[in-house]
Amino acid sequence: MKHTKVRDLLNSTTTLQEVNAKGWVRTFRNNQFIALNDGSTINNIQCVVDFENTPEETLKRITTGAAVSVIGTLVESKGAGQKYEIQVSKLEILGDSDAEKFPMQPKKHSLEFLRENAHLRVRTNAFGAIMRVRSVLSYAVHSYFQQKGFVYVNTPIITGADAEGAGEMFQVTSLPLDNLPKNEEGNIDFKKDFFGKHTNLTVSGQLEGETFAMALGQIYTFGPTFRAENSNTSRHLAEFWMIEPEVAFNDLDDNMDLAEDFIQYVIKYALDNCKDDLAFLEGRLLEEEKSKPQAERSEMALLEKLNFVLENNFKRVSYTEAIDILRDSTPNKKKKFQYLITEWGADLQSEHERYLVEKHFKCPVILYDYPANIKAFYMRLNDNTEPGRETVRAMDILFPGIGEIVGGSEREERYDVLVQKMEALGIDKEELYWYLDTRRFGSATHAGFGLGFERLVLFVTGMTNIRDVIPFPRTPGSAEF
């Protein structure tokens, strides 16, 4: 008999039918009641075993974590909290699980313990819910852009270009590390490497994406990116997924409109399609916050916060306005900020971004027109800015609890200005000749942004550590599994 997913059984409109369910045992009570889950939903289905007519040896093997197949009649449940249950007529143990050794016992585990068991943590309610929400959000990303006529472009993971100019990249080589070939100057001879040059894992697909936008009009990338930053924080990963749209003929205002519309679409999609999982995650968050001091608790419950983002326009504020607000703020005056704001030109930290969003405006904020010297070379220089206070057409979207969730800009489309900026920063024009070609042959205004997918999942699920919203986190000193 073909088995039916637990989700479909619980949503069934027909009872007294014979069904087959397969899944993993969450709990087994009184030698009679199996809570069975197959990952299709956060909800278990109760399977009632006729223990008097089931061999003792079989009952002993029904343990937490065991994989089982049950055949029986789907009936209305007499117990509270569930619509249906299965009266089991046949039970088969598909895979045993040693109850004493299985780490995912039916009790509360610390998140750190679960990270150490990332290969099994998805068997818990919380991580099953997080990964289903992540999957739905991923689908929503593609759905949004495909409906808008964007072309999905797969940009390279191995690249010779550093899009950020930060230098914090993972090197890729096939050279023997214990016997590196050297050239006449005594440096590593990358001409003997697999690609014949120095290559890295990508930090962004943006530069390559721009070349496609200047032919296809509107494109997006959605793939893994890598940062070799030695950051052990709750907001950073060495390997994460990035969403990067790029649109020809869009200016900064168009870019802000696109980012706001996109974020609201994917959040609404998750709210509409992950009701049970989000309700569970909201309850989990409320329970977790009970142990925090009142001042550290969220002002809004999870679903309220998500709906708040949908129902309110994002506040658009220039960097200069933001600096004035921060400089005059109580935490700055009382020296509560770790990084005090004393002058225009400061690079805003997470504490500043969260103050603007959570304390001052109390809504998502889009900051724009940043100082040129703290932003990447490809961002368009604003006209008529005073010497020493040059700004670029950049924008960041700041979210409560997260800080920056989106970074983007109008791109510098003027060939001569872009060359001057590259020369000033010591960026090799020969290495990026292909990027400059887009400014030499039919250049036009264009804009785009990058959204770290894990930060979006973090916000939607209410989790507080980015390591808990990706299946196998990659962080400094940790590449398990």
State phi, psi for 162 to the nearest 5 degrees.
Answer: -110, 100
In percent, how much of the chain has pLDDT > 90? 82
Give the mean model confidence (pLDDT) for residues 153-162: 90
Res. 288 pLDDT band, cuts 50 70 90: confident
| pLDDT tens-digit readout, 164-211 | 555 589 999 999 999 999 999 999 999 999 999 999 999 999 999 999
Residues 34 and 159 in one domain: no
Report the C-alpha gap between 300 and 308 in whole angstroms.
9
pLDDT tens digits for 330-372? Answer: 999 999 999 999 999 999 998 999 999 989 998 999 999 999 9
Is residue 475 a part of any domain in this protein?
A: no
- Residue 405 near residue 458, CB atoms below 8 Å: no
Residue 294 has pLDDT above 90, yes or no: no
**The domain spanning residue 131 has which CATH number?**
3.30.930.10
Based on the fold, state whether residues 316 and 406 are members of the same structural domain: yes
Among 59-63, 76-80, 137-141, 211-215, name the one with the lowest average pLDDT.
76-80
**Judgement on whether residues 239 and 278 belong to the same structural domain of the protein:** yes
pLDDT interval class at 292 (50, 70, 90): confident
| 447 occurs within a structural domain | yes
Q: How confident is the model at residue 471 (pLDDT cuts 50, 70, 90)?
A: very high
Tokens of 27: 């709990």
pLDDT for res 164: 59
Instruction: Determine the average pLDDT of the residues in 430-438.
Output: 94
CATH of the domain at 59: 2.40.50.140
Whether the pLDDT of residue 223 is over 60: the answer is yes
Mean pLDDT value across residues 53-66: 95
What's the pLDDT score for residue 166? 53
Indicate if the pLDDT at residue 160 is higher than 90: no
pLDDT at position 165 is: 58
DSSP state, residue 339: S
Looking at the fold, whether 331 and 257 belong to one and the same domain comes out as yes
Residue 4 CB contacts under 8 Å (≥ 6 apart), including other chains: 19, 20, 21
Mean pLDDT of the region 409-437: 94
Is 0.85 surpassed by the pTM of this model?
yes
Instruction: Evaluate whether residue 224 is within a structural domain.
Output: yes
**Domain extent for 158:** 123-168+203-468
Instruction: Give the pairing type, strands 365-371 and 315-318.
Output: parallel
80 pLDDT exceeds 80?
Answer: no
Q: What is the DSSP letter of 376?
A: -
Flag whether 116 is in a domain: no
Q: How many domains does the chain have?
A: 2
Within a domain: 194? no
Using pLDDT thresholds of 50, 70 and 90, give the confidence band for residue 62. very high
Give the distance from CA 131 to its chain's centroid: 11
Q: What is the 3-state secondary structure (H, E, C) of 207-268?
A: HHHHHHHHHHCEEEEEEEEECCCCCCCCCCCCEEEEEEEEEECCCHHHHHHHHHHHHHHHHH
Report if residue 176 sits inside a domain: no
In a domain, 461, yes or no: yes
Can you tell me the mean pLDDT for 108-132?
94
- Give the pLDDT band (50/70/90) at residue 232: confident
In this prediction, residue 162 carries a pLDDT of: 67
The answer to whether residues 77 and 155 belong to one domain is no
